[in-house]
A and B are shown apart, each in its own frame.
Chain A
Amino acid sequence: MSAADVREAITRVHRDEWARVVAALTKRFDDLDIAEEAAAEAFATAVERWPADGVPPNPGAWLTTTANRKAIDRIRRDSKRDDKQKQAQMWYDEPPEPLGAIDDERLRLIFTCCHPALAMEARIALTLRMVGGLTVPEIARAFLVQEAAMGRRITRAKVKIKAARVPYRVPSAEDLPARVSGVLTVLFLVFNEGYLATGPDTDPIRQDLTAEAIRLTRLMRTLLPTDGEAAGLLALMLLTEARRTARISANGELIPLGEQNRGAWDAALIAEGHRLVRERIAERVAPGRYQILAAINAVHTSARDVRDTDWSQVVALYDQLVRVDPSPIVALNRAIAVAEVDGPEVALTAVDHLDDALAEYHAYHATRADLLRRLGRSEQSRAAYDKAIELAGNTAETAYLTRRRDQLG
């Protein structure tokens, strides 16, 4: 095996086994901090040893055993008390459970990291670290935070989990829907930050984040195969990700859906997304917001040409979404579809009603600007573009809005 092969194997094993190793250790030692540190040390040992010794036949088991020893060493080192020493010896003598048997440990880990008693920022950081296996510097870069500050954020969360005794378990059936929804929110936020990255010096699309969000949502789908919203969110992400390369022009400008080269969309991701949407529709269970959003994206990605888009179907789906999620942002997106069915005048009236709620939201002004432009009201359109440009945080979006404004007659 070449050095490159070993490196690749380690990367793959890290991706596939990190969460399992952390989850198994957390279960055994009842301590996230010990689990994280020991897992990191075990992977560091693999990086050191595998190039010379070769990749072990069962890398996951090797890593769990190694991490287990590292954890016990730390507990022995840290503890002067006899009972702890005895417990450590017992752990040492008793081999850890094989990985396959504890697959759902990862689910417990996810629920603990996304616990509602933690701040949203902490949930995101902890999930990417513990479940995703991203390093603290990687997470800090992803969210444009200083490494030390991100380290503190994660440490604080771990301390709270331990001191307040946030349980390490899958919530009861009664609490499960709300808690799953909380986990999906975390994953959707990670995806969105990747898809529409904010910050003047960031790439407009952060594929590392979208890929990680998709990977973790796939895991949720695997662990909760009957959950409609997990499937819906995965479909939504896939159908959005499929358009990624068509969404930014060569000179870094956002290309709106209607102007994208649909031949550049990823056919495999679209097929998988459509399959998931069809599966959910076949279930005949009232869909939640992610499933409806996925269905809307399925309509868009089914049209070979923007002129083939079934806009009345899109409006009907938004009507359904408004009932589940009556937020002003949903109303705004509904109005964009209404413009295609009933014309920009009707849509503008609907959009203007949202002024109070969305005055600080760039997409509100961008939508108004576009509708005003189509109605030939150039002066008002220009003012709306100005406001949208001022509020937009994504570099590709700013470039697009600026060109549109400058093209006004």
Chain B
Amino acid sequence: MQYLVSVIADTPDANGTPDEMAAIDAFNDQLQADGHWVFAGGLGSTNTATVVDNRGAEAVFTDGPFVESKEYLAGFWIMEAADLDVALKLAAGASKACNRKIEVRPFL
């Protein structure tokens, strides 16, 4: 079972502090050692986003994120976990490491 573990940021500066980055590295090493790691990545700020809509006659490009909100996605993990209890425990560790709120969602 795979879960998308999203990092929710509520400050304009999504970058982690050196301490946070070091904690995330250590957390990732542990994820890999325990076989929960699938993928992870940090994202550029929402100012760098472009929305693309090609449902009509031609593709339309719009500057900015798809939704304006105070909180936004700053990065994510994809984790392998046997069930939600395992995923929640991993996410609690992730939240501690990156010092942000976390959302856990299962893949279908």
Interface centre among B82, B104, B106 (most CB of A within 10 A): B106
Cβ–Cβ contact B88 & A117, under 8 A: yes
Cβ–Cβ contact A164 & B85, under 8 A: no
User: Could you mark each residue 65-108 of chain B with 1 if its beta carbon is under 8 Å from any beta carbon of chain A, else 0?
Assistant: 00000000000000000111101100000000000000011101
User: Could you mark each residue 262-292 of chain A with 1 if its beta carbon is under 8 Å from any beta carbon of chain B, else 0?
Assistant: 0000000000000000000000000000000
Q: Which residue of B lies closest to A175 (CB)?
A: B85
Cβ–Cβ contact A163 & B106, under 8 A: yes
B1 at the interface (CB under 8 A from A): yes
Q: Which residue of B lies closest to A117 (CB)?
A: B84
User: Could you mark each residue 141-167 of chain A with 1 if its beta carbon is under 8 Å from any beta carbon of chain B, else 0?
Assistant: 000000000000000000000011111
Cβ–Cβ contact B83 & A167, under 8 A: yes
Q: Which residue of B lies closest to A174 (CB)?
A: B89
A171 at the interface (CB under 8 A from B): yes
- Compute how far the CA of A70 lies from the CA of B85 in the bound complex, rounded to whole angstroms: 30
> How many Å from the CB of A119 to the closest CB on chain B?
15
Q: Which residue of A lies closest to B86 (CB)?
A: A167
- Compute how far the CA of A166 lies from the CA of B83 in the bound complex, rounded to whole angstroms: 6
- Compute how far the CA of A43 lies from the CA of B34 in the bound complex, rounded to whole angstroms: 46
Contacts of B82 in A (CB 8 A): 167
Cβ–Cβ contact A165 & B106, under 8 A: yes
- Compute how far the CA of A116 lies from the CA of B91 in the bound complex, rounded to whole angstroms: 14
Q: Which residue of B lies closest to A171 (CB)?
A: B85
- Compute how far the CA of A164 lies from the CA of B88 in the bound complex, rounded to whole angstroms: 11
- Compute how far the CA of A116 lies from the CA of B84 in the bound complex, rounded to whole angstroms: 11
* Number of interchain pairs (Cβ within 8 Å): 25
- Compute how far the CA of A115 lies from the CA of B85 in the bound complex, rounded to whole angstroms: 9
Residues of B within 8 A of A (CB-CB), count: 12
User: Could you mark each residue 173-201 of chain A with 1 if its beta carbon is under 8 Å from any beta carbon of chain B, else 0?
Assistant: 00100000000000000000000000000
Contacts of B88 in A (CB 8 A): 116-117
Cβ–Cβ contact A165 & B83, under 8 A: yes
Q: Which residue of A lies closest to B105 (CB)?
A: A164
- Compute how far the CA of A165 lies from the CA of B85 in the bound complex, rounded to whole angstroms: 9
> How many Å from the CB of B83 to the closest CB on chain A?
4
- Compute how far the CA of A165 lies from the CA of B82 in the bound complex, rounded to whole angstroms: 8
Contacts of A165 in B (CB 8 A): 1, 83-84, 106
Contacts of A115 in B (CB 8 A): 84
- Compute how far the CA of A142 lies from the CA of B88 in the bound complex, rounded to whole angstroms: 32
- Compute how far the CA of A163 lies from the CA of B3 in the bound complex, rounded to whole angstroms: 11
Contacts of B3 in A (CB 8 A): 164
Contacts of A163 in B (CB 8 A): 106, 108
Interface centre among B1, B83, B87, B108 (most CB of A within 10 A): B83
- Compute how far the CA of A146 lies from the CA of B105 in the bound complex, rounded to whole angstroms: 29
Q: Which residue of A lies closest to B88 (CB)?
A: A117
Contacts of A175 in B (CB 8 A): 85
Q: Which residue of B lies closest to A161 (CB)?
A: B84
Contacts of B83 in A (CB 8 A): 165-167
- Compute how far the CA of A175 lies from the CA of B89 in the bound complex, rounded to whole angstroms: 10
- Compute how far the CA of A163 lies from the CA of B84 in the bound complex, rounded to whole angstroms: 10
Interface centre among A115, A163, A164, A175 (most CB of B within 10 A): A164
Q: Which residue of B lies closest to A165 (CB)?
A: B83
Cβ–Cβ contact B106 & A167, under 8 A: no
Scan residues 6-53 of chain B and give those whose CB is less than 8 A from a CB of chain A: none
Scan residues 308-354 of chain A and give those whose CB is less than 8 A from a CB of chain B: none
Scan residues 109-124 of chain A and give those whose CB is less than 8 A from a CB of chain B: 115-117
Contacts of A116 in B (CB 8 A): 88
- Compute how far the CA of A163 lies from the CA of B82 in the bound complex, rounded to whole angstroms: 13
> How many Å from the CB of A158 to the closest CB on chain B?
14
- Compute how far the CA of A167 lies from the CA of B1 in the bound complex, rounded to whole angstroms: 12
> How many Å from the CB of A157 to the closest CB on chain B?
13
- Compute how far the CA of A338 lies from the CA of B49 in the bound complex, rounded to whole angstroms: 61
18 contacts between A and B (CB under 8 A): A116-B88, A117-B84, A117-B88, A163-B106, A164-B3, A164-B84, A164-B87, A164-B105, A164-B106, A165-B83, A165-B84, A165-B106, A166-B84, A167-B82, A167-B83, A167-B85, A171-B85, A175-B85
User: A164-B106, A167-B83 given. 11 additional CB < 8 A pairs?
Assistant: A116-B88, A117-B84, A163-B108, A164-B84, A165-B83, A165-B106, A166-B83, A166-B84, A167-B82, A167-B84, A171-B85
Residues of B that sit less than 8 Å from A by CB: 1, 3, 82-85, 87-88, 104-106, 108
The 5 closest A-B CB pairs, nearest first, are A167-B83, A164-B106, A165-B83, A164-B84, A166-B84
